[in-house]
Amino acid sequence: MDFKFTEQQEMLRAMVREFVERECPKHLVRKWDEEKKFPLEVFHKLMSLGLSGVAIPTKYGGMGGSIIDYAIVCEELARSGSWGLGSYFNAVVMYGADIILNCGNEEQKQLFLPKFAKGEMRFAYGITEPDSGSDAAAAKTSAVDKGDHFVLNGTKMFITLGDDVDYTVTLARTDKNLPKHKGLSLLLVDTKSKGYSAKPLKKIAGYTDTTCELVFDNVIVPKSMVLGGPEMINHGWELLLRTLEIEHLLVAANALGYAQVAFDDSLQYAKDRYAFGQPIGKFQAISHMLAEMAVDLHLARLSVCHLAWLKANDMPCYKESCITKLVATECWTKIALRGMEILGGYSLTMDFDMQRYLRDSFILLIGGGTKQIQKNMIARAIGL
Ligand SMILES: Cc1cc2nc3c(=O)[nH]c(=O)nc-3n(C[C@H](O)[C@H](O)[C@H](O)COP(=O)(O)OP(=O)(O)OC[C@H]3O[C@@H](n4cnc5c(N)ncnc54)[C@H](O)[C@@H]3O)c2cc1C
């Protein structure tokens, strides 16, 4: 058993951490949240480091690393505490590069991967609909075959950055006569297409990205833009499952980074805040809370590292991916909740970040599959 990262991976981690410390100081991250706007120039600076290409093969313009490298970058970006920074990176890597790498045909890899490697392209993931979230295969958005293209009609809900990406990977029903999970395809919909519109929803968290309702009104999608190529028409569900483990891993790596910053802030506060003549961290009630938070963080980190290793080595990891998504996202919420207690009255002010960590943590508890759905999948995986 070897728990060490490689020298290159340690260098990668140090490079992202240095970027975050330089470009995302706490006061700016707080200001972006207050202004509900993530500054894209910070994202472009990040992209100029080539980080979006770390796990893209060299023949497509990347650095040829593994999914472990993406997990490291996701965790370190999240340690900024900036929801937007992580979300924009995910639009390039989680919903872009990784989907094309795992599901695209050769033509699509050649077309898109060099752009992802340079950070010049972003994708959204259009699965959820107003009437179907957990039950994603009940999607009603329809794509009617017109020979060399489909005509797409329908509505998607809660689509991250649906108004600020180049393409939306869209789950659509391409054959109404096939059983529920069979007649679906994933279409790469150009967001500049006539008939595509995106409306950001008002929400209580994740102020530095958008969550959109999308409407497709007779949008034309060429057959070359079926994910995986025309031979994958009606195999969309299969492809969606193929992307699930990586989505779980990167969501969990994100959650781990955000949980870490919530823990660090709580610990610092417990050392700095005095009551009854001593730092509050000296009270057993507070120190035990912090000890429990350290335990949760440790277990979440082990789970993320193990999953990253399984995935990088092409080993089966469906159950582990559900466990890790559940453990890491719950860890973030639990740590932020305890952090609220430790910060006392200040936790409710906008001058401290704990309230934001708590609000934002709810997104990852839901996005990518709720905890009830993870438990259903784990139960199935253990034979129930
Ligand atoms: C900020 C944000 C960003 C998002 N980004 C995206 C995105 O980019 N792309 C995308 O496609 N979607 C996105 N989503 C949608 C997200 O994936 C869904 O909200 C999620 O899958 C749950 O679906 P739902 O909200 O329709 O809840 P429902 O499916 O209606 O579930 C409601 C409740 O019932 C429970 N439930 C449902 N079915 C079962 C069951 N079989 N067993 C036990 N309990 C069950 C759920 O766990 C939940 O507690 C985002 C959501 C949010 C909040």
What is the per-residue pLDDT across 89-108, written as a single tens digit (0 to 9) for each? 999 999 999 999 999 999 99
CA proximity to 209, closest of 365, 24, 82, 46: 82
124-149 residue pLDDT tens = 999 999 999 999 999 999 999 999 99
Max distance between CA atoms of the chain, in angstroms, equals 78
Digit-coded pLDDT (tens) for 253-274 = 999 999 999 999 999 999 999 9
Long-range pairs, 301-305, Cβ under 8 A, ≥24: 301/256, 303/252, 303/327, 303/328, 304/71, 304/75, 304/249, 304/252, 304/253, 304/256, 304/328, 305/3
Atom of ligand 1 nearest to the CA of 160: 8
Distance, CA of 87 to CA of 91 (rounded, Å): 6
Dump pLDDT digits (tens) for 172-185: 999 999 999 999 99
Q: Which of 161, 216, 370, 371 to mutate to test the pocket of ligand 1 (most atoms within 8 A of CB)?
A: 370
Mean of pLDDT values over 3-28: 97
Centre of ligand 1 from the C-alpha of residue 127, in Å = 10
Q: Which residues line ligand 1 (CB under 6 A)?
A: 124-128, 133-134, 158-160, 206, 211, 363, 366-367, 369-370, 372-373, 376
pTM confidence score: 0.97
Report helix, strand or coil for 279: strand
Domains recognised in the chain with CATH numbers: 7-121 (1.10.540.10), 125-234 (2.40.110.10), 238-381 (1.20.140.10)
Is residue 120 within 8 A of residue 105, CB to CB? The reply is no
User: How distant, in Å, are the alpha carbons of 92, 179, 188 from that of 123?
Assistant: 6, 28, 9
Total H helices, total E strands in the chain: 12, 9
> From atom 38 of ligand 1, which residue's Cα is the shortest distance away?
134
Q: Which residues contact 60 (CB under 8 A, 6 or more apart)?
A: 109, 110, 113, 114, 117
Quote the DSSP letter at residue 226.
B
Ligand 1 atom with the shortest distance to the CA of 128? 11
Predicted confidence at residue 2, as pLDDT, reads: 86
Q: What is the dihedral of CA 2, 14, 329, 205, to 10 degrees?
A: -170
Which amino acid residue places its CA nearest to atom 6 of ligand 1?
Answer: 159
What number does the ligand 1 atom closest to the CA of 126 have?
Answer: 11
